[in-house]
Amino acid sequence: MREARELLDVPAQGREWNRRRLIIEIMVKSDRQSQLSRRTGLSGGQVSQTIQDLTQEGVVEVDAPGGGRAKGKVRLSRMRGVAVGVDLGFNHTSVVARPVGEPHDRIVVKRDDFGANAGIRRLLPNVLRLVREAVEDTNQGMSDVVSAGLGVPRMVDPRTGRFATPVLPPWEPEDDPAGELTAELGVPVVMDNDANLGALAEQTYTSEEAVEHVVYVKASTGVGIGIVVGSNLVRGQRGMAGEIGHLTIEPNGRMCLCGGRGCLDTVIGAEALLDQVKQSRRGTNRDVPATLTELVLKAHNEDAVCKRVLQDAGRALGFALAQLCNLINPHRIVIGGELAEARSLLLEPCGQELARFALSGSVAPGADFELRTSTLSPHTEAQGALILGLRSRSSK
């Protein structure tokens, strides 16, 4: 059987590089030629000619059920090769693995409650174990891994691929999880902020037609957003774009980890929400949830305090997102992370505040705007990491 590694390891210049980019986008997701053209930035003519060559070589196949070849989906022929995505949370690790020729939703998933809070020394052996188990479940081996991406709930400097300063706990500035995984896996592992990766996955995997402006909100221990505009992820000069968790919404509010006061994180971060429930119990520890997931579960079981805490969190989030809507006017805002499990308890007040504070033309019915929770959850970020890993193989 052909090996994906041979297609990706060739020295790439000029036309060869275009060819490799196209193969990688087909590995990311089988698609029609017009969409592949949009995703690669290559002209329709270049895509059409290259697909014709690749079909003759047996690298790709075109499904043409009645609509003609141009309208058929281009997919990779069967070959050895596995793409991996890893999402490292504070209290969880998610790994997805997929043979590069399989449809994008046919992933093997491994997840456990061991995250960055455990410390990098204990964390990496666990990540490697999950990757190994996931790859084995695809019926391929570790030597077949062709790409890997890594998501972290921290700012990542796009110039270095390492944590951006200030490096907030539990990480230390010298920590280099991507570098350590690169050494272990034998393929270059690239790292990015988890909300950025959620935005990539939402834009690529949740609709047939490309959505141009997508905002993904990762709301759990802290809150961050990923912004995709066209085919670009907006990272900012030093990876600090989208740090909505540190947007001041209460100038005289509580101190934040970042040194700011009244940041959104101090209002709707997991600790802030749990504190509110604890305070309402007036010193008794009865029915105090220990985690955000427990809090959400209690709210769904009609606990009045937990419901109100989540509804107020939705309002605060909606207020912050309204400011964002007036800045970048997105098509779609998708909410992921544990807080999204609150569903309508969070979404309804969030939508009401958006309608109240954003320009009405940007979010009103008929404005081609959508606010919803992630349909890829809880693997949205890991799916984005898999996309990032594959795309990194197209760099010259």
Residue 2 or 261: the one with the smaller Cβ distance to Zn ion is 261
Of the two residues 253 and 260, which places its CB atom closer to Zn ion in the complex?
260
Q: Which has the closest alpha carbon to 384: 168, 228, 184?
A: 228
User: Among residues 138, 41, 108, which one has the least CA distance to residue 383?
Assistant: 108
**Chain centre to alpha carbon of residue 22:** 22
Dihedral of CA atoms 195, 124, 95, 130 in degrees, nearest 10, equals: -170
**Contact footprint for Zn ion (CB under 5 A):** 246, 256, 258, 260, 263
Angle between helices 380-392 and 14-28 (to 10 degrees): 160
β-bridge partners, 213: 229
Q: Compute the least distance from the CB of residue 337 to Zn ion, in Å.
A: 17
- To Zn ion, the closest distance from the beta carbon of 321 in angstroms equals 17
Distance CA(390)–CA(379), nearest Å, equals 17
Amino acid at 204: T
Of 98 and 246, nearer to Zn ion (C-beta) is 246
List alpha helices for the chain, DSSP H.
4-8, 14-28, 33-40, 44-57, 120-137, 177-185, 194-205, 265-268, 270-280, 292-300, 304-328, 344-357, 360-363, 380-392
268 vs 363 by CB, closer to Zn ion: 268
In terms of CB distance, is 220 or 374 closer to Zn ion? Answer: 220
| Under 8 Å between Cβ of 217 and 337 | yes
CB of 88 to Zn ion, least distance (A): 21
Cβ proximity to Zn ion: between 76 and 223 the closer is 223
List Cβ neighbours of 80 (8 Å cut-off, separation of 6 or more): 1, 2, 3, 4, 5, 99, 140, 144
Minimum distance from CB of 245 to Zn ion (Å)? 6
Q: Whole-number minimum distance, CB 292 to Zn ion, in Å?
A: 18
- Judge whether 191 and 152 are in contact, CB under 8 Å: yes
In the complex, least distance from residue 257 CB atom to Zn ion, rounded to whole angstroms: 6
- How near is the Cβ of 258 to Zn ion at its closest, in Å? 3
Instruction: Give whichever of 84 and 317 is closer to Zn ion, judged by the CB atom.
Output: 317
